[in-house]
Homo-oligomer: A and B are copies of this chain.
Amino acid sequence: MPSRPSQRVTIKDLAREMGVSVATIARAFHPEADIAVATRAAVLRLAAERGYQPDALARSMITGRTRIVGVVVADLENPFYPMVLASLSAALQPAGFNTMLVVAEAGGPVDPALRLLLSYRPEYAIILATNLTTEATRTCAAAQVPLLYFNRAPLDTDARAVVCDNLGGAGSLARHMIAGGMRHPAFISGRADTSTNQERHEGFRTACEAAGLTVREEAAQSFTYAAGQQAARRLLSSGERPDGIMGASDILALGAVDVATREFGLQIPRDLMVAGFDDIPMSAWPAHDLTTVQQPVTAMVERTLAWIRDEPCEGGTLRLPARLIIRGTTRTEPAAERTCNDMKEERA
């Protein structure tokens, strides 16, 4: 066994050791290259032995293909994003792409991070985030990196985006809650400058107004559990209490449920219905059992990969259907018609 070299082994080292040109070594690593079967085998054998692996950076410089997909994520605190990140990254890898991740502060400036990211020449950029100005679109355009917004409908119509039908989803949720007897709807907003918030709010409000109901809005300011709690506190301690609350996202709704039951002693869904949007894993936990609108994450990730594969497709926003998931925090029929023994027994 030879002594381990102190420097990383390069293509030259291998060429020298085998007495062939560097071109031959390079060819062994390209399936489509013209090279003798035996030569390739010998090269690969020695490469494995020496721990040689072509340098992706050097390769990228020539081919112009870095196989890097840059992902900007702004809010890892909201469990929806880790979920998407895991799914996205898992789909990217078999397609031969690596994920370069930049974490931006929620609501903070994304551009410095984006620029740093772009200096690595990602082949594509995906923005997995909340509020972003059109600055990002321009920055990527200048760097000639195709950009996709995920879960955000950008203001610029020529940008590409994959989102779910927030409007329709929130609308069907509203109708479900109205059928359950909601008379005084309220909506807890997260960040007001996000398209998800705006669309969900509008979908909810439009459906409520169609039924003659006025929606009260309470601004939570951020998509966090604590913000949902605070918004619910304000909502429930005011004069006329809502009897149905939609959170702009699950994490807000979960905070609201908590305050309603624990601090205001309300029975859910009897005294108050609560629902969210996203369908994060916690919403399905029996302890929460939150009615929500499910984002079709798998389909959204699939579309993202399709976009990467057939880049030439034109811009625009792709909107996938969302699905209403009815769980225990909303009623199917008005509470007045129910009897008391609907209450869950806590004892075995």
Contacts and interface: CB of A to CB of B under 8 A. Distances in A.
A90 B288 CA distance: 31
Interface stretch (A113-121, A157-165, A187-195, A202-210): A113-121
Interface in A274-292: 281-282, 285-288
Q: Which of under 10, 10 to 19, 20 to 34, or 35 or more describes the interface residues of A?
A: 35 or more
A258 B257 CA distance: 17
B281 A77 contact: yes
A93 to B, nearest CB: 7
A223 interface: no
Interface in A94-111: 98-103, 105
A85 interface: yes
Given A8-B143, A56-B120, A68-B100, 4 more contacts: A53-B118, A56-B121, A82-B82, A101-B101
A102 B99 contact: yes
16 contacts: A7-B144, A51-B142, A53-B118, A54-B119, A57-B66, A61-B61, A76-B82, A77-B281, A79-B79, A79-B82, A86-B103, A90-B105, A98-B116, A99-B102, A99-B103, A265-B345
Copies of the protein in its oligomer: 2
B286 A57 contact: no
A30 interface: no
B77 A89 contact: no
A119 B287 contact: no
A348 B264 contact: yes
A336 interface: no
A55 interface: yes
A119 B85 contact: no
A265 B348 contact: yes
Contacts of A142: 4, 51
Interface centre among A93, A98, A143, A348 (most CB of B within 10 A): A98
Contacts of A51: 142-143
A16 interface: no
B281 A258 contact: no
A83 to B, nearest CB: 8
Contacts of A264: 348
Contacts of A118: 53
A58 interface: yes
A61 B53 contact: no
